[in-house]
Amino acid sequence: MLVWYVASLTACLGMRNVYERTMDFKPGWLNAFVTVALIVVCTLSLSRVSVFLYFNF
């Protein structure tokens, strides 16, 4: 349990937050390509029929 506390404290205090990460963000062609590719994949996956598992509730 102590390991989780130390890991959580390190993650909270040692890592940069979203605002700090956005200050270093440089838009480029690779970021645009990955974003568009993910949007296309997500949009195309909406056309498939998926099984809704509704049991044990």
Q: Residue 34: what pLDDT?
A: 96
d(CA 55, CA 52): 9
Q: Residue 57: what pLDDT?
A: 62
| Burial label, 54 (beta-carbon count in 10 A; 0-12, 13-18, 19+) | exposed
Q: What are phi and psi of 49, to 5 degrees?
A: -85, 130
Q: Residue 29: what pLDDT?
A: 97
Structural domain boundaries of the chain? Answer: 2-45
In order along its 57 residues, the chain shows pLDDT tens digits of 899 999 999 999 989 888 988 998 889 999 999 999 999 999 998 887 777 777 666
Tokens of 51: 């099984």
Q: Residue 52: what pLDDT?
A: 74
